[in-house]
Structure 1
Amino acid sequence: MLSSRPIRLAFSSLTAAVVAVGVLAAPAAQAKPVPADPVGVVTDRLARQLAGEFAADARNLFPATADRAVNLARAPETSPLGRAVRAANRTVLAAKGLPQNGASLLTVRLADPGMVPALRRGVAPLVASSPSDDTGVSVTAYDRAANRVLLSPDRVPDRPVYLVEVDTGAAVTMGMAVMRTTLSERGQATQPRAAAGYWATQVTSIRLDDDMEPWHKGKAEIFAIAAGFGQDGKVKVDTVEMPYLDHDGTTYYPGQLLVHFSSYKYNLADLVLMEEDGGTNYRELALALSQALLTIVDGGVYIPLVSAILNAIPDSWWVDDPDYVDSWYTLSTATSGTLRGAAANGTISVRPYWVQPL
């Protein structure tokens, strides 16, 4: 998972510091607890169960290497473990705003390849859930007696650790469909007019900075939100998966079309990159975007939309989790070259691309 911090998070940190200075003068009762992450609650409970009461049933589900994750839906459907996994998956789908008939999202993986030798020596593994909070002071794991074991988030443990987490790749795919449907119902999804061909922005290379992500995070799952004004003067939104962007600090050469200008009134659009962190609620995000963008009126000249998109993101997303990655303002049909993101966390090289009609 990426660990970028947008300006809004910096402002939140500054505010927190100011409050902390005056903590003695403020009544403790006024402090508001951070709401629990429902996905994190589910995966933590399942990790405790896999380590303790379901340990025998779960033994065949734990991978022997760190190169793959195992979907927990492989547990027999009628077994206590299978019933617990399916109930947990329904809760996760609901918390993420995904349809209840969606794919099973809960997986388990070995946290790091360096843990394999200890595992082969018979060292008893711990089981933990992968927290979405990158700023946490510890990672909670469980031993065979289901006792809590606190691990440092900054150092890979010597003892093998299995991580229960959400299949973020599958979640992004389903989430993009939910967002497109939700925005379409409100007339805010892009509607390509490709009969005569159109211009698009092609990303020839992209690199996201390395921000020392913790050991308990796996590959990043990035998606893009492109926005511009439609022919009716309303803001139109398109969402795009970027499944190849697995790691920061690596340059990728996708040749992907990220902005399609066929739906836009002007030859300008904005681009925001977001990260699926396991707790992302796609329907909530789509509804928040829809409500915020409906208030923006086309005044006959293009208005940048990045700030409106970021302001629409639910406040809870900014408390702990860096879901925002970076953004690029006013890309045009003629934009070409290497561009640094507004948050200085990403660099993309782009060029105009003419999409031929069929």
Structure 2
Amino acid sequence: MSVRQQVRTVLCGAALAGLVLTTTQGIATAAPVPGGGAKVSPVRAAEDAAARALARSLTDDAWRAEMSRAVADGDGVGLKALAAGSRTGAGAALAADVARADRSVLAAKGLPADVGGLLTVTPAGDSGSRRAPLVAVAPTDDEAAPVTAYDSAGRAHTLDATEAPDVPVYVVGVDGEKAVEAGLEVLERELAAAGVTTADAAAAVSATGAASAAATGYWTSRITSVYVADDKETWIKGDAEIFSIVSGFGLDGKVRVDTVTHPYLDDAETTYYPNQILVNWSQYKYNLADVVMMEDDGDTNYSSLAKAIAAALLTIADLGAYVPLVDPVVDAIPASFWTDDADFVDAWYTLARETTGTRNGAGGNGRFTFDRYWVSAL
């Protein structure tokens, strides 16, 4: 299937999913714990284990009050640090369960142990309600599927994903911004180790004589505005964590990959004006590059992604003319990524050094506006 077909499949499927689900605000009757042989990702399993443990721990009034104060500003907090630093017995007991779940998350995402805890807890729902809080995990498919939440007795309840419930909910999830930052370091490091030129493997620049050419500065493509029609995030998942993979041919004639994070790009149907550099053209042989925009949806394994992209790109040789690299990058994405629509956001073919103005993505989901920007040397 070509990237254009994949883009259409992803976007149309997500749009239809958002249309067919009817809204039923609040809590449904207690439901059995999800199972029945359905395949659960390692990250989801770890989040679910932490959520159940957290729900059980909230029977302790002192710990429950401490938790409420910790998330009172509405932002997510690190669950591992919160539990480990608690002065209550319930919090201290929870710390071991969270640490175990965090180790599973790091392993599943291909991240080193020194990244630290990734699991967070974020308040959602009606924080002003006097009803006992529930603890939920965001669904992994991003298609407004019902959300499972647990009470302190371990019973599962079903919440509607399209409307925030009328009870307090603590959402256990992964710190996406921290995961993306650490993950892209892994991605570039493993690509470089495999032989793909990256920002960490730019020593060849001096051998080409390009270093002197760039001594006075270099041209870049700068994002003056960006818009995403659908970031695939339901109420329970919060902000999107989006990044771009920029690919082209380096100065040594080998395929080059650079990664760019977009930490400001939180919400769909919102235009952002970051003035962010996307491509440094002094690092590319041709005046053309391709862009694939993706989102870390919790299950992204950066080590696996790097190996798959490297295996695909290292088969492409520089034959003296630019070869678009979007299709190889997208085709290299492991099949499991396509089970979660938000992993792939959109793609831009043959972005040129001279490109200015607005460019829509191939899937019609994303839109960049560019200008040419000269970066002067110090």
TM (norm. structure 1) is 0.86
Match of 2:109 among 69, 73, 96: 96
Per the alignment, residue 48 of structure 2 pairs with 44
Structure 1: distance between partners of 2:261 and 2:151 = 37
Q: Name 1:286's counterpart in structure 2.
A: 306
Deviation at 1:136, TM superposition (A): 5.8
* Per-residue Cα deviation, 1:271-311 (whole angstroms, up to 9, x for no partner): 11111111111111111111110111222111111111110
Q: Per the alignment, do residues 6 and 330 of structure 1 end up closer, same or farther by CA in structure 2, a change over 3 Å counting? A: same
* C-alpha separation in 1, matches of 2:256 and 2:46: 35
Match of 2:98 in 1: 85
Equivalent positions of 1:43-82 (< 5 A) are 43-53=47-57, 55-56=59-60, 58-59=63-64, 60-62=66-68, 63=70, 65=72, 67-73=74-80, 74-76=82-84, 79-82=92-95
Equivalent residue for 1:262?
Answer: 282
Alignment of 1:188-227 (within 5 A): 188=196, 189-190=198-199, 191=202, 193=211, 194-210=214-230, 213-227=233-247
Residue 7 (structure 2) aligns with: 6
- Deviations 1:211-262 (Å, cap 9, x if unpaired)? 6742212011111110001233221000011111111111111100011112
Q: 1:196, CA displacement in angstroms?
A: 4.2
- How far off is 1:153 after superposition? 1.7
**Distance change (3 Å), C-alpha of 1:323 and 1:211:** closer
Please give the root-mean-square deviation of Cα atoms over the aligned residues, in Å. Answer: 2.2
| Structure 2 match to 1:30 | none
**CA distance 1:93–1:266, change in 2 (3 Å):** same
Ranges in structure 1 where 5+ consecutive residues have no aligned partner: 14-32
What's the CA shift for 1:58? 4.7
Amino acid across the alignment from 1:80: A
Shift of 1:8: 4.9
Q: Deviations over 1:112-163 (max 9, x none)?
A: 4xx1221xxx211110111221126311110121101111222221122110
Residues 18-37 of structure 1: per-residue CA shift (max 9 Å, x gap)? xxxxxxxxxxxxxxx86421
Out of 231-240 and 249-258, give the one that drifted further.
231-240
Q: Deviations 1:80-114 (Å, cap 9, x if unpaired)?
A: 211111111111111111111112111111124xx
Identity across matched positions, percent: 46
Change in CA separation of 1:10 and 1:67 when aligned onto 2, cut-off 3 Å:
closer
Contact kept? 1:103, 1:170, Cα under 8 Å = no
2:127 aligned with 1:116: yes
Aligned to 1:178: 186
Q: Secondary structure of 1:101's partner?
A: helix
Question: CA 1:11/1:151 → structure 2, altered by over 3 Å: closer, same or farther?
Answer: closer
Distance (whole Å) between structure 2 residues aligned to residue 340 and residue 34 of structure 1: 37
C-alpha distance in 2 between matches for 1:80 and 1:205: 47
CA contact (8 A) 1:108 1:165 kept: yes
1:223-234 aligned within 5 A: 223-234=243-254
The corresponding residue for 1:140 is 148
Alignment gaps of 5+ in structure 2:
1-5, 15-36, 86-90, 206-210
Whether the 8 Å contact between 1:61 and 1:70 is mirrored in structure 2 is no
Matched residue count? 330
Instruction: Tell me the TM-score normalized by structure 2.
Output: 0.82
Question: Residue in 1 aligned with 2:136?
Answer: 128
* Equivalent of residue 274 in structure 1, options 276, 294, 300: 294
Contact kept, 8 Å, 1:141 with 1:150, in 2: the verdict is yes
Once the 2 structures are TM-superposed, how far is the Cα of residue 10 of structure 1 from its aligned partner?
A: 6.5
Residue 76 (structure 1) shift: 2.3
Does the CA-based 8 Å contact 2:224-2:371 persist in structure 1? yes
The structure where helix makes up a greater share of residues is: 2
For residues 73 and 324 of structure 2, the distance between their equivalents in structure 1, rounded to whole angstroms, comes to 43
- For the structure 1 residues 355 and 201, does the alpha-carbon distance in structure 2 shift closer, same or farther, using more than 3 Å as the test? same
What CA distance in whole angstroms lies between the structure 2 residues aligned with 1:81 and 1:284? 31
SS in 2 for 1:52: helix
Question: Structure 2: how far apart are the matches of 1:138 and 1:103?
Answer: 30
1 CA distance for matches of 2:38 and 2:291? 30
